[in-house]
A and B are shown apart, each in its own frame.
Chain A
Amino acid sequence: MPGSDKETDLTERIEAFLSDLKRGGSGTGPLRGSAETARETTALLRRITAQARWSSAGDLMEIIRKEGRRMTAAQPSETTVGNMIRRVLKIIREEYARSRGSSEETDQQESLHKLLTSGGLSEENFRQHFAALKANVIEAINELLTELEGTTDNIAMQALEHIHSNEVIMTIGRSRTVEAFLKDAARKRKFHVIVAECAPFCQGHEMATSLSKAGIETTVITDAAIFAVMSRVNKVIIGTQTVLANGGLRAVNGTHTLALAAKHHSTPLIVCAPMFKLSPQVRREYTINNSNNHFVSSGEILSKVNVHCPVFDYVPPELITLFISNIGGHAPSYIYRLMSELYHPEDHEL
């Protein structure tokens, strides 16, 4: 039967995606960029919308929520998955509201009047059936996909506004967004980049070779030399894994030290982060202890010693000067507002 074929095909794809996520996080599989993950998640959600059996918006949202919970549980540190799910849920809500005919603004604004007169939970239960809803939702998801494909280019286009000639720029680890940003500026300006290697994975090495091949004068330094070299740095430009709701960051470990050093020397700290990295989550810690073998080799001591290898650092918003995203530049204090435009408050907890 064609229906069940589609379903098994769908479940297969979902399972494949989940196992991919699990593998990517343990460090053994190929490291995927978050843009890639976001795109794959969105494509998968579009497929679910197209192929799963649902009759009303509420059903669809339930299905997506269920799959979403499984996906985030597979790899909790990969927050773009959760972000994309919330975006799609918001799209569904919007399309439903549009089909029903009510305007978007009155739904969104939580005025005091509305709170008093509504009397309890919202009446929306998304049970009404609309024939065109499926097509509309799929179209909106396609738009989202186009937006995702253009994020890196949109950010890179803003590079010349922020980098002047003969600057010394510092960055840490490897971020594809920052790489594109700097390469775009290098086409027109000459400047010097210092890359902190970010032990133990030393992804900074890859970044440095890639930048130097693009014609940028690059220097690789160890993490220990960050403060020593900071006095000669004009700007610090970093990427991040997640942007938190308060404007803080969850970024690769070593970023907090970099941010403190930049604050001490009053050097501006610029974060290049596309909108899909914005997450309504609160600060949480992620440690992987199974990479001991990377840097402690002698076995007899290993048993008597605790080794910590945190993957991410929390950077508070006071240390950040500017966020550059695909829709422009923002101050950290504005992030909460962007958050409210991207996600519906009820979706913050999947």
Chain B
Amino acid sequence: YFNRSYLLFGCAYQQSEGRELTKEEKQRLRKEKKQQKKNKEKKDDNASQESEKEKKSVSSSSSAPQPPTQPATQKAPSAVPAPAPAVVPASETPAPVEKPAKSKAELKAERRARQEAERASKQGKKGETGQQAATGKPKAPPSELQPVVKRLPEHIQVDNPDVLKKLAKKLERQQIPLRLDYGYKVSLFSHLHQYSRKAPLTQQLSIPSSVIHPAIVRLGLQYSQGIVAGSNARSVALLHAFKQVIRDYTTPPNEELSRDLVNKLKPYISFLNQCRPLSASMGNAIKYIKKEISNIPSQCKEEEAKGKLLNCIECYINEKIILAAKAIAKYAIEKISDGDVILVYGCSSLVNHILCEAFEKNRKFRVIVVDSRPRLEGREALRRLVQRGISCTYVLISAVSYILPEVSKVFLGAHALLANGYVMSRVGTSQIALVAKAFNVPVLVCCETYKFCERVQTDSFVSNELDDPDDLIVTRKGKTQLEDWQQVPLLGLLNLVYDVTPPDFVDLVITDLGMIPCTSVPVVLRVKNVDL
């Protein structure tokens, strides 16, 4: 069994050399190491030493993708015994075939080299090319393909009690209250959180909160109550709050600004995540800020550093959101002709901006606003458009197939664009795209590039957000049918927030880089990453 398993492992590895190591493979490796220790009694000390270092190296490599403020001490011992384990298995295991032993050594050397590469890149990208040469991998060097060991985000693992325990411990450490789930969750979505709007996280905080900056507390409350909604609005609000945090920040003595400020931001981000799960655009903004902070050279004075950071944030908002909106509007206006009947769904700030711009440029068109329960965001869009003087029609989403024969184009906004070309947007968008496709009406999605996301997803179940189920309750003709839904044991209410639209329903995506098809999203992501 032992020999065969090695063979299998070795062969599997040989076939898929370019693949990053999964957790299962590492565990298997560890198990086999343990078995090796048991079977070969000679060199007991050596074997135990080696398996210990193995475990440490495995654990440290799995923690490599975490933020750069890993204490340097953890990495040192793993770097030291690098040559030793490579030699030991070759001598300890004469029985197994030559091929698997070499692949294991190769594995470890690679892992070591990858850790070095990542640490070096996080400290300012010096000597990256040196590390690349040390890997000895025949395929493309790791920095280009970035084989990062991905950690699943916590908010889609609610059904895993270990993950929940870890989260609770982390929040306790950061002194942030844990938000509890509410109500009966539909079984298909038991892996997601479901919170109630009536129990905001701030009720569990002490006032004044010593751990969390008041601007962040306010922001968290605005998110959880739905006062600030829409991905652009949330990102801009987040960046403004962070600017306030940076202004009020002072470096404690014996600490570096680049490391300490990032540590300060972590509990804030956990808090905001508890109030409402972060959107893809917010995630990208946070990544950018953290990168900028850690790139501050250590000899920079505090005032200068803060000024630089504030400037960076301003630039980000200006470039990625405001100027991008102008560029997208310029491209989109080319697509609107006189006499058009345009259908929009919900309230997308970008689409509203485009329509207002087009109206300023004297294009003659009319708009049909489609709305859906329970958020009824279309009313806001209706208000904005009617104020400008655009002639509008208003329908609910169930009437979409009634109104579509009149429509010439559909403009949709997006919450994020996924790397496999799927469009993640407000729930109902995929439905509109489906019906539009059935009636042969072109569907155009407008999205800024900072919302592009490296995740992939094929359905709306695996990663989504569940809103307060009580929102579905409504009174019609004096009767509220679902008032006591909690008492009825078999009744569940589902209030989804997002859904994914397959790329074959979307005809064109208008971004600030130009008009691209849905499938070109990973190309744009790659171009962006190389630039960074």
Contact = CB atoms under 8 A, between A and B. Distances in A.
Contacts of B166: none
Contacts of A213: 488
B244 interface: no
A223 B386 contact: no
B476 A260 contact: no
A340 interface: no
Nearest to B346: A224
Contacts of B491: 208-209, 212, 218-220
B401 A257 contact: yes
A227 B379 CA distance: 23
B157 interface: no
Contacts of B499: 225, 227-228
Given A253-B398, A308-B403, A222 B373 contact: yes
B382 interface: yes
Contact of A223 (B397, B402, B426, B482): B397
Interface string B413-442: 000000000000011101100110010000
A301 B388 CA distance: 12
B109 interface: no
Contact of A228 (B430, B476, B482): B430
Contact of B494 (A225, A254, A257, A307): A225
A229 B492 CA distance: 14
Nearest to A27: B477
Interface stretch (A74-82, A196-204, A323-331): A196-204
Contacts of B187: 192
Given A197-B373, A197-B472, A296-B379, A212 B431 contact: no
B396 A223 contact: yes
A216 to B, nearest CB: 7
B383 A301 contact: yes
A165 to B, nearest CB: 15
Contacts of A197: 373, 472
A220 B499 CA distance: 17
A205 interface: yes
Question: Chain A CB within 10 Å — which of B379, B398, B427 has the most?
Answer: B398
B459 interface: yes
- Main SS class of interface, B: mixed
Contacts of A215: 490
Contacts of A224: 372-373, 397, 426-428, 431, 496
Contacts of A257: 397-398, 400-401, 431, 434-435
A206 interface: yes
Nearest to A221: B494
Contacts of B461: 231-232
Given A208-B491, A296-B379, A308-B399, A222 B472 contact: yes
Nearest to A308: B395
Contacts of B382: 301, 305
A215 B500 CA distance: 32
- Main SS class of interface, A: mixed
A144 B397 CA distance: 40
Interface string A263-292: 010000000000000000000010000000
Question: Chain B CB within 10 Å — which of A208, A219, A224, A298 has the most?
Answer: A224
A309 B396 CA distance: 8
B427 A222 contact: yes
A169 to B, nearest CB: 14
Question: Chain B CB within 10 Å — which of A218, A220, A307 has the most?
Answer: A220
Contact of B490 (A216, A227, A305): A216
Contact of A205 (B426, B459, B474): B474
A296 B394 contact: yes
Contact of B394 (A209, A253, A306): A306
Interface residues of A, number: 51
B296 interface: no
A130 interface: no
Interface string A130-151: 0000000000000000000000
A221 B428 CA distance: 12
A96 B392 CA distance: 58
Question: Chain A CB within 10 Å — which of B187, B379, B391, B481 has the most?
Answer: B481
B372 A222 contact: yes
Interface string A246-258: 0000000110110
A221 B397 CA distance: 13
A304 interface: yes
B493 interface: yes
B482 A209 contact: yes
Interface in B454-492: 459-461, 472, 474, 476, 481-482, 485, 488-492
Contacts of B394: 296, 305-308
B36 interface: no
Interface string A171-208: 00000000000000000000010000111111001101
Contacts of B398: 198-199, 223, 253-254, 257
A295 B396 contact: yes
Nearest to A219: B492
B374 interface: yes
A227 B430 contact: yes
Interface string A5-27: 00000000000000000000000
B378 to A, nearest CB: 10
Nearest to A319: B438
A225 B401 contact: no
A222 B490 CA distance: 18
A223 B373 contact: yes
A218 B481 contact: no
Contacts of B481: 202, 205-206, 208-209
B428 A305 contact: no
A236 B283 CA distance: 38
B372 A264 contact: no
Contacts of B490: 212, 215-218
Nearest to B392: A305
B61 interface: no
A41 B518 CA distance: 56
A222 B392 contact: no
Question: Chain A CB within 10 Å — which of B383, B397, B491 has the most?
Answer: B491
B188 interface: yes
A310 interface: yes
Nearest to A307: B394
A296 B394 CA distance: 9
Interface in B81-115: none
Nearest to A261: B434
A200 B396 contact: yes
Nearest to B502: A264
B22 interface: no
A226 interface: yes
Contacts of A253: 398-399, 402
A213 B186 CA distance: 17
B498 to A, nearest CB: 8
A-B pairs with lowest CB-CB distance, top 10: A224-B428, A254-B398, A205-B481, A228-B499, A224-B372, A256-B401, A228-B460, A212-B491, A227-B431, A306-B393
Interface of B: 186-188, 371-374, 376, 379, 382-383, 386, 391-403, 426-428, 430-431, 434-435, 438, 459-461, 472, 474, 476, 481-482, 485, 488-496, 499-500
Given A209-B485, A222-B372, A307-B393, 11 more contacts: A205-B481, A218-B492, A228-B496, A229-B460, A231-B460, A231-B461, A253-B399, A264-B434, A304-B391, A305-B392, A307-B394
13 contacts: A205-B474, A218-B490, A221-B496, A223-B428, A224-B373, A228-B500, A257-B431, A257-B435, A261-B431, A296-B379, A301-B383, A306-B393, A309-B395
